[in-house]
A and B are shown apart, each in its own frame.
Chain A
Amino acid sequence: MINERKPLVSFKDYSFQYFAQAEPTLHDINLTIYEGEKVMIVGASGSGKSTLGNCINGLIPFSYKGESKGSVQVGGRETSEMSLFELSKIVGTVLQDPDGQFVGLSVAEDIAFSLENQCMPQKEMIELVQETAAIVDMDRHLTKSPFELSGGQKQRVGLAGVMVDDVELFLFDEPLANLDPATGKTAIDLIDKIKTKYNKTVVIIEHRLEDVLYRHVDRVIVMNEGRIVADMDANTLFEARVLPPLGIREPLYVSALRYAGVEITADMKPESVETLDIPRIRDAVIAWNERQPQPQPSPKREEILSGKDIRFAYNRDHEILKGIDFSISAGEMVSVVGTNGAGKSTLAKAVCALVKNVKGQFFYEGRDISDQTIKERAQHIGYVMQNPNQMICKQMIYDEVAMGLQLRKYPEEEVDRRVLAALKTCGLYEMRNWPISALSFGQKKRVTIASMLALEPKILILDEPTAGQDYYHYTEIMEFLRSLNESGVTILIITHDMHLMLEYTERTLVICDGKVLFDGSSVHALTNPDIAERANLKLTSLYDLAMKCGIDDAQSFVENFIHYERGLRDRIGPQTK
Chain B
Amino acid sequence: MNTKLFDYVERHNFIYDLSGVTKFLCFMIAGAAVMFTYDIRVMVVVFVVSMIAFLLSQITFQQIRLMVIYVAIFMLMNILLTFLFHPQYGVEIYGTKHVIFSITERYTLTWEQLMYQGSKVMKYCSIIPLGMIFILATHPSEMASSMNRIGIPYKATYALALTLRYFPDVIRDYQDISVAQQARGLDMSKKERLSVRMKNILNICIPLIFTTLDRIELISNAMDLRGFGMRKKRTWYCAKKLNAKDYFALGVCLLLLALSIGMIVFVNHSRYYNPFL
Write the residues of chain A forming the contact surface with B, with a CB cutoff of 8 angstroms: 57-59, 62-63, 83-85, 88, 93, 95, 97, 99-106, 108-109, 112-122, 125-126, 129, 146-147, 161-162, 165, 314-315, 349, 352, 354-355, 374-375, 377-378, 382-383, 385, 387, 389-393, 403-404, 407-408, 451-452, 455
Contact = CB atoms under 8 A, between A and B. Distances in A.
Interface of B: 1-2, 140-141, 161-162, 164-165, 168-169, 173, 176-177, 179-187, 203-204, 206-207, 210-211, 214-215, 218-231, 233-239
Given A103-B219, A121-B235, A88 B185 contact: no
16 contacts: A59-B221, A62-B224, A84-B225, A95-B221, A95-B222, A103-B162, A109-B141, A114-B227, A116-B234, A117-B227, A119-B233, A122-B237, A383-B180, A389-B211, A390-B177, A407-B187
A147 B168 contact: yes
Given A119-B233, A349-B179, A407-B185, A392 B207 contact: yes
A398 to B, nearest CB: 15
B226 A161 contact: yes
Contacts of B236: 116, 122
A453 to B, nearest CB: 12
A452 B185 CA distance: 11
A144 to B, nearest CB: 12
Contact of B183 (A85, A100, A116, A378): A378
B21 to A, nearest CB: 13
A112 B228 CA distance: 12
A294 B238 CA distance: 65
A146 to B, nearest CB: 8
Contacts of B237: 108-109, 112, 115-116, 122, 125-126, 129
A239 to B, nearest CB: 37
Given A84-B224, A122-B236, A129-B237, 14 more contacts: A85-B227, A88-B226, A95-B218, A100-B218, A117-B231, A119-B233, A122-B237, A126-B237, A147-B168, A385-B180, A390-B207, A391-B207, A404-B184, A407-B184
B140 to A, nearest CB: 5
A119 B140 CA distance: 20
Contacts of A349: 179
Given A84-B224, A105-B141, A374-B179, A117 B234 contact: yes
Contacts of B179: 349, 354-355, 374
B183 A393 contact: no
B163 to A, nearest CB: 11
B186 to A, nearest CB: 6
B223 to A, nearest CB: 6
A387 B211 contact: yes
B181 A393 contact: yes
A393 B235 CA distance: 42
A259 B179 CA distance: 46
A361 to B, nearest CB: 20
Cβ-closest 4 pairs across A and B: A407-B185, A100-B218, A85-B230, A112-B237
Nearest to B168: A147
A389 B209 CA distance: 10
A111 B1 CA distance: 26
A83 B230 contact: yes
A448 to B, nearest CB: 9
Contacts of A385: 176, 180
Contacts of A390: 173, 176-177, 180, 207, 211
B180 A105 contact: no
Contacts of B235: 115-116, 119-122, 125
Given A104-B165, A393-B207, A375 B238 contact: no
A106 B161 CA distance: 11
A391 B95 CA distance: 65
Among B168, B220, B228, B236, the most chain A Cβ lie within 10 Å of the Cβ of: B228
Contacts of B215: 100
B183 A93 contact: no
Given A109-B237, A161-B226, A118 B231 contact: yes
A350 to B, nearest CB: 11
A122 B218 contact: no
Given A116-B237, A314-B1, A392-B207, A451 B184 contact: yes
Among A108, A113, A129, the most chain B Cβ lie within 10 Å of the Cβ of: A113
Contact of A103 (B2, B176, B222): B222
Contacts of A105: 140-141, 161, 164-165
B227 A118 contact: yes
A393 B221 contact: no
B254 to A, nearest CB: 26
B226 A113 contact: yes
Nearest to A314: B1
A310 to B, nearest CB: 17
B179 to A, nearest CB: 4
A185 B57 CA distance: 47
A527 to B, nearest CB: 35
B207 A389 contact: yes
Nearest to A120: B235
Nearest to B183: A378
Among B173, B220, B222, the most chain A Cβ lie within 10 Å of the Cβ of: B222
